[in-house]
Amino acid sequence: MTSARHVAIIMDGNGRWAKRRLLPRSVGHKRGVEAVRGLLRSLDDTGIEVLTLYAFSSENWKRSEDEVSDLMGLLRIFIARDLDEIVERGLKLKIIGDFSIFPADLVTMIQDAQARSASGTQGTLVVALNYGSQQEIAKAAAAAAAKGEVTVETIAAGLETADLPPLDLLIRTSGEVRLSNFLLWQASYAELYFTDVLWPDFTVDHLKQALAEFSGRERRFGGR
């Protein structure tokens, strides 16, 4: 039985969760953050070393100004409220994606949060912000080319996840069955798991269900 060291989640369905309750989308996102909080508190029980969450994609800028600003606000609140607990739990916070174009106060908050949690040894919480996998791969390939050696290894070494264990399991909630420009390279040999559960309803029990299915799958990595 294999256990998953590195799990990534496309947290989808906040909007639909809210719509079903005739609530504004912002409430769905707020409940989405609560689902993140719930998972972090139970992460110890899962054996996961690295949890990577897709919080804001490079395509999310296409959403309304209000929704983008709601999401930024939730990130601020998340860092302000939850960082102490993240540090106490010994988790290291790592951001992937180019968050340098976020509002200046948020950039500073994120940098401080990464610095404050840098010595965490109990696990890593990776949050993807303004992240796009094609952009990440293009940048890594350009860096490899600049050094005169473009190989699978040199490209992989230039990815933002180069210091993390390989991705084992990629989960997407809400019934959508696509990767949406998330960890395309890293997902090459990952197991994929799709569930109809909307993100605000996703609990550690759902995560454990995904992990149980993962441990029952036979991973061949291209061999037989």
Q: ∠ CA(212), CA(213), CA(215), 5° rounding?
A: 65
Q: Per CB under 6 A, does 60 bind ligand FPP?
A: yes
Q: Per CB under 6 A, does 11 bind ligand FPP?
A: yes
Residue 181 annotated among the catalytic residues of the structure = no
Asked whether the beta carbons of 63 and 15 are under 8 A apart, the reply is: no
Q: Per CB under 6 A, does 70 bind ligand FPP?
A: no
Nearest-approach distance from CB 11 to ligand FPP, in angstroms: 5
Site string for ligand FPP, 31-50 (x = CB under 6 A): -xx--x--------------
Q: Residues 60, 98, 181, 201: which is the catalytic one?
A: 60
3-state secondary structure 132-194: CHHHHHHHHHHHHHHCCCCCHHHHHHCCCCCCCCCCCEEEECCCCCCCCCCCCCHHHHCEEEE
Number of residues that bind ligand FPP (CB under 6 A): 19
Q: Per CB under 6 A, does 95 bind ligand FPP?
A: no
Rule CB under 6 A: choose which of 40, 43, 50, 53 binds ligand FPP.
53
Residues β-bridged to residue 172: 10, 194
Within 189-208, which residues bind ligand FPP (CB under 6 A)?
A: 199
Nearest-approach distance from CB 37 to ligand FPP, in angstroms: 8
- How remote is the C-alpha of 195 from its chain's centroid? 16
Stretch that binds ligand FPP, among 26-34, 83-91, 161-169, 177-185 (CB under 6 A): 26-34
Nearest-approach distance from CB 185 to ligand FPP, in angstroms: 21
Nearer to ligand FPP, 12 or 160 (CB): 12
Rule CB under 6 A: choose which of 8, 9, 70, 78 binds ligand FPP.
78
Tokens of 143: 């860096």
In angstroms and rounded to an integer, the radius of gyration of the C-alpha atoms of the chain is: 17
Q: How many CB atoms lie within 10 A of CB 50?
A: 23
Nearer to ligand FPP, 50 or 53 (CB): 53
The SS3 call for residue 107 is helix
What is the spatial distance between Cα 152 and Cα 189, in angstroms, rounded to a whole number?
14
What is the spatial distance between Cα 198 and Cα 15, in angstroms, rounded to a whole number?
9
Residue 44 annotated among the catalytic residues of the structure = no
> Interface with ligand FPP by CB under 6 A: which residues?
11-16, 29, 32-33, 36, 53, 55, 60, 74-75, 78, 127, 174, 199
Q: Catalytic amino acids? A: 12, 60
